[in-house]
Amino acid sequence: MDNQTQIQKTIIEELGLADLPKEKQDQLLIKMTEVVLKRIFLEIMERLNEVDQKDYEKKIDENIAPEQLEAFLREKIIDYDEMVAKVIADFKEEMKSV
C-alpha cells in the first residue's frame, strides 16, 4: 500500500468519516491528503542536505517509481517512517480539535 492510500485509510478511520457519503469522503480526502503530503514534503526538505535535496528533486523530475523514491528517503532520513507517521498523527490531532 503506498503512502497516499495509507494516509487516506488512516484519515477515514481516525476522523470517523466512514459514515459520510462516498462523494463527500472523496472530496475531504483529496483536500486532507494534499495537506498531509505537502507537510511531509516540507519535512523531507528540512531534513535533507542541499546535495540530497537536489538529488531528490532530480528523482521526482525523472518520475522514478514511488518505491525507489521511498528507498532513497529511507536511506537519507534515518527515521523516515517515524517522521511520516508523526506528520500524519499531528494532522489527525489538529483535525480532531477543529
Q: How confident is the model over 27-43, as pLDDT tens digits?
A: 888 888 899 999 999 99
Alpha-carbon gap, residue 97 to 6, rounded angstroms: 22
Alpha-carbon gap, residue 44 to 39, rounded angstroms: 9
pLDDT at 76: 96
Closest CA relative to residue 95, chosen from 3, 9, 17 = 17
CB half-sphere exposure, 6, CA atoms < 13 A: 10
Give the mean pLDDT of 42-56: 96
Owning domain of residue 32: 3-96
C-alpha cell read off for 82: 517515524
Alpha-helical segments (H) within the chain: 3-14, 22-47, 50-61, 66-76, 80-96
pLDDT at 3: 65
User: How many separate domains does the chain show?
Assistant: 1
